[in-house]
Amino acid sequence: MKVAVVGVTGLVGGVMCRVLEEHQFPVTEFIPVASARSVGKKVTFNNNEYTVVSMDDAIAMRPDIAIFSAGGGTSKEHAPRFAAVGTTVIDNSSAWRMHDDKRLIVPEINAHLLTEEDKIIANPNCSTIQMVVALAPLHAKYGIKRLVISTYQAVTGTGVQAVQQLEEERNNTKASDPAYPHPIDLNCLPHGGSFQDDGYTTEEVKLVNETRKILGAPDIRITATVVRVPVYGGHSESVNVEFERDFDLEELKSLLENSPGVTVQDDFKNNIYPMPLYSKDKDDVFVGRLRRDFSQPNSLNMWIVSDNLRKGAATNAVQIAQYLMENKLLHSNVELVTK
């Protein structure tokens, strides 16, 4: 496969390259793409050095797959141009997620919806991905009625500027170009994305809308509060779930233990529970603190943690590419040129 990574010099772009290597994706030609200011820079992939090219040059090379992590504006402008030359785009921005004619895919849940005609495929928000991987098997078994979500999101979800702010503040230096309106070190900011007129933030709205779309459940009642915390990698979520049907807690745990992409860490007697420090560089979603909510019927409290740059972005995108390839939903432009 001829593969382009768009936004290759960014935080997520770098992890995309690592995950492609680790998953041994069959890249026969690697095309690193970035903005004009990064064109000409060198990047390493599979121990080979490559020169970053422009968007126009990459489109002219007609990659089979283009994995985008370059922001919504870039995706809106250039994803259709790639699609027009036969490239399948897997986009990590919010640009296409809620379009009715675009698939919003978490492979463990709804990859079966993909067809050859899907040329622009949306990768969900990082906090949504990890949550629905844990919730999907529970929804199928018990039917989710309502979700109350509180997230504790790492600064890497905001980007390089936020990481630099945290590092400078930890070195007792005033942030030179802060990503947040307040200090993030030794602090928690109940502010993810931008505020809307109703007081909710864009990150909170994504959790509501994307969860409903991925689970195919528009009637689930959902409310969310997003908090940014001084952690480098790994988002954490406290999720209260109200089900339509009652559950046996041990049966529920067993269901999660046998669900793809989920690792249960739930042994409170030995202080075993998911933590972002230990989810780093792992592809799984970690679930623990499983316990009944005794304040209302059929309800569960759970704690969900995952590496936001991996399963929350890069790994999910690569898994989509793998599904497309394994199910022969891609036609290699390399083969077309050869023939």
Which positions are catalytic? 126, 235
Pairs from 171-178 (Cβ < 8 Å, separation ≥ 24): none
Yes or no: say if 128 and 136 are a contact pair by the CB < 8 Å rule.
no
How far apart (Å, rounded) are the C-alpha atoms in residues 42 and 178?
A: 28
Please, what sign has the CA dihedral across residues 280, 133, 191, 145? negative
Strand 103-104 versus strand 144-153 pairing type: unpaired
Tell me the Cα Rg of the chain. 20
State how far the Cα of 49 lies from the Cα of 8, in Å rounded to an integer.
13
Give the type of residue at 256.
L
Beta bridge partners of 90: 67, 121
Compute the distance between CA of residue 231 and CA of residue 167 in angstroms, rounded to an integer.
11
CA dihedral 32, 35, 41, 47 (to 10 degrees): -20
250 φ/ψ angles, rounded to the nearest 5 degrees: -65, -40
User: How far apart (Å, rounded) are the C-alpha atoms in residues 115 and 110?
Assistant: 12
